[in-house]
């Protein structure tokens, strides 16, 4: 049975990966399953998706700059912008109207509709909800320097994930400020705001503001 965390974070109507998320209990459990799901999904994509390179399917209206590099398997939705020097690799599912910008890298991730990672961002082994936005230089770190299993903090309890690579779960409409760094296993609730330059770990509650000194306030 799916854990309530998934629907607290994400509106499933804004992703082609909804059936995959519905199959698992905790949302991070989809991360090792993205590659197989892309192969399944590719067989039933709408007619306006085109395979532009081996195992790279792109929806109608999407613009890909010549200097971008995409290594499949990957599914990129409609009307997206893949800008100069973007790097997309190793199992990525993107929704519609997604922006991946200058020198941003996406790896083994699910990006819901209208996500923006426009400038110098790294998104690895992560899920970003509808209209999530990363400021310039914001990083979702996905690997501990000690090489240990990555833990999450859920319902005020520490929990192992069984994963050694896991970035973050970013809820719908989250705003992450420039040069913020999210530690592995971070969860950010819907409509939260992260100030620029913040180091972020653990769980940031829905509708809250995390400031540089670590203080948290409700978002008005």
Contact status, residue 130 vs residue 173, Cβ threshold 8 Å = yes
Measured torsion, CA atoms of residues 116, 123, 46, 10, in degrees rounded to the nearest 10: -70
Contacts of 41 (CB under 8 A, 6+ apart): 16, 17, 75, 93
Secondary structure (3-state) at 35: helix
Q: Where are the alpha helices (DSSP H) in the chain?
A: 4-9, 18-23, 34-42
- Tokens 């799901």: give the residue: 37
- Domains, the chain, with CATH or none: 4-218 (2.160.10.10)
β-pair type (49-53, 56-59): antiparallel
pTM, whole model, 2 decimals? 0.96
Over its length of 220 residues, how does the chain's per-residue pLDDT go in tens digits?
A: 889 999 999 999 999 999 999 999 999 999 999 999 999 999 999 999 999 999 999 999 999 999 999 999 999 999 999 999 999 999 999 999 999 999 999 999 999 999 999 999 999 999 999 999 999 999 999 999 999 999 999 888 999 999 999 999 999 999 999 999 999 999 999 999 999 999 999 999 999 999 999 999 998 7
| DSSP state for residue 14 in the 8-state scheme | G
Would you state the structure tokens that stand for residue 165, as one six-digit string? 């690579």
β-pair type (175-176, 193-194): parallel
| DSSP state for residue 59 in the 8-state scheme | E
DSSP lists the bridge partners of residue 70 as 88
């Amino acid at each position: 049975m799916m854990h309530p965390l998934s629907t607290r974070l994400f509106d499933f109507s804004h992703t082609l990966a909804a059936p995959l998320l519905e199959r698992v209990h905790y949302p991070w459990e989809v991360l090792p399953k993205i590659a197989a799901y892309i192969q399944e999904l590719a067989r039933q994509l709408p007619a306006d998706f085109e395979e532009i390179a081996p195992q790279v399917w792109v929806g109608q209206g999407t613009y890909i700059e010549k200097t971008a590099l995409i290594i499949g398997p990957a599914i990129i939705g409609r009307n997206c912008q893949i800008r100069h020097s973007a790097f997309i690799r190793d199992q990525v599912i993107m929704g519609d109207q997604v922006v991946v910008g200058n020198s941003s890298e996406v790896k083994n991730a699910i990006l819901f509709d209208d996500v923006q990672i426009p400038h110098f961002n790294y998104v690895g082994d992560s899920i970003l909800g509808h209209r999530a936005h990363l400021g310039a230089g914001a990083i979702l770190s996905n690997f501990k320097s000690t090489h240990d299993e990555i833990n999450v903090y859920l319902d005020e309890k520490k929990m192992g994930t069984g994963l050694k690579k896991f970035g973050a779960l970013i809820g719908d409409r989250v705003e992450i400020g420039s040069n913020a760094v999210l530690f592995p296993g971070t969860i950010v609730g819907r409509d939260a705001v992260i100030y620029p330059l913040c180091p972020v770990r653990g769980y940031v509650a829905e509708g809250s503001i995390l400031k540089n000194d670590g203080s948290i306030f409700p978002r008005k």
